[in-house]
């Protein structure tokens, strides 16, 4: 699978929590979910993390270097005090069960005393399954012929930065990367792109597109 733009979570977007170090979650969250849902087997997932950001790519490279020496990667999972949907709370509680184990979390400052926190130590083999690749999905193509294409590509909070032409270019590039029955999952609204059937846009309000 591929994640396009996994990003670096350096503060919570809404409230600016900055009491924990830089981290990236998305590739490992997807690994975790694929195993939990029985869609893949542990040790049999290869993740390519495409990004244009040097910070993101270097962060992942450093995590991989540490993983090669057996070091885990710890992620902090703060949860606000207002009510979350029950499913979201269940997800938050179980996050990481397939990729590592819970560890003591960094305690938030007193001003954030209502914030709940969890932390998960992700195993080195999971970190090593994720390979960072410098790629601009709008303007560059990736030769994935050796691997035969991706079953799943995730790109969230990505397309919204681009105009329609750029979105169409990105989608064209993505279509060359997907296996014939592979999926692109995005939370961005892409109503003007002819590649994505209207019906699918309507069903999900966000685009879930099956290539091929
Ligand atoms: C707002 S962050 C999204 C992070 C995460 N996916 C999320 O949903 O929270 C956007 C990410 O996409 C990357 N990005 C933006 N444009 C890109 C492009 N054309 N090609 C590859 N990555 C891109 C950024 O560097 C960043 O890592």
What pLDDT, in 10s, does the model give residues 128-168? Answer: 999 999 999 999 999 877 788 999 999 999 999 999 899 98
| Total Cβ atoms within 10 A of residue 212 | 9
Rounded to an integer, the average pLDDT of 169-192 is 84
How far is CA 20 from each of CA 116, 144, 211, rounded to the nearest angstrom?
13, 35, 38
- How far away, in angstroms, is 113 Cα from ligand 1 center? 31
* pLDDT tens per residue, range 94-115: 999 999 999 999 998 888 888 8
Question: What is the atom index within ligand 1 of the atom nearest the CA of 187?
Answer: 8
- Backbone φ and ψ for 192, nearest 5 degrees, come out as -100, 5
Ligand 1, CB within 6 Å, residue ranges: 4-7, 26, 50-53, 56, 135-138, 156-158, 161
By C-alpha distance, which of 13, 47, 206, 18 is closest to 122? 47
Predicted structure pTM score: 0.90
Question: What is the atom index within ligand 1 of the atom nearest the CA of 137?
Answer: 20
User: 11-25, 43-57, 109-123, 157-171: which has the highest mean pLDDT?
Assistant: 43-57
Residue nearest to atom 22 of ligand 1 (CA): 51
Whether residue 26 is predicted with pLDDT greater than 60 in this model: the reply is yes
Which pLDDT belongs to residue 48? 97
């Amino acid at each position: 699978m591929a994640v396009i733009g996994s990003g670096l979570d350096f503060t919570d977007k809404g409230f600016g929590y900055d009491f924990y170090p830089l981290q990236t979650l998305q590739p490992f969250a997807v690994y975790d979910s694929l195993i939990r849902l029985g869609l893949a087997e542990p040790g049999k997932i290869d993740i390519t993390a495409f990004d244009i950001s040097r910070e993101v790519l270097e962060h992942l490279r450093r995590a991989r270097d540490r993983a090669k020496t057996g070091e885990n990667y710890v992620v902090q999972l703060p949860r606000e005090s207002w009510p979350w949907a029950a499913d979201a709370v269940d997800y938050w509680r179980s996050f990481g069960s397939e990729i590592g184990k819970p560890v003591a979390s960094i305690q938030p400052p007193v001003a954030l005393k209502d914030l709940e926190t969890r932390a998960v130590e992700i195993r080195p083999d999971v970190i090593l399954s994720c390979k960072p690749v410098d790629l601009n999905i709008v303007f560059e193509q990736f030769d994935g012929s050796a691997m035969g294409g991706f079953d799943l590509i995730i790109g969230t909070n990505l397309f919204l930065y681009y105009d329609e032409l750029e979105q169409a270019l990105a989608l064209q590039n993505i279509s060359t990367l997907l296996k014939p029955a592979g999926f692109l999952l995005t939370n961005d609204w892409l109503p003007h792109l002819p590649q994505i059937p209207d019906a699918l846009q309507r069903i999900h309000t966000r685009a879930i597109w099956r290539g091929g």
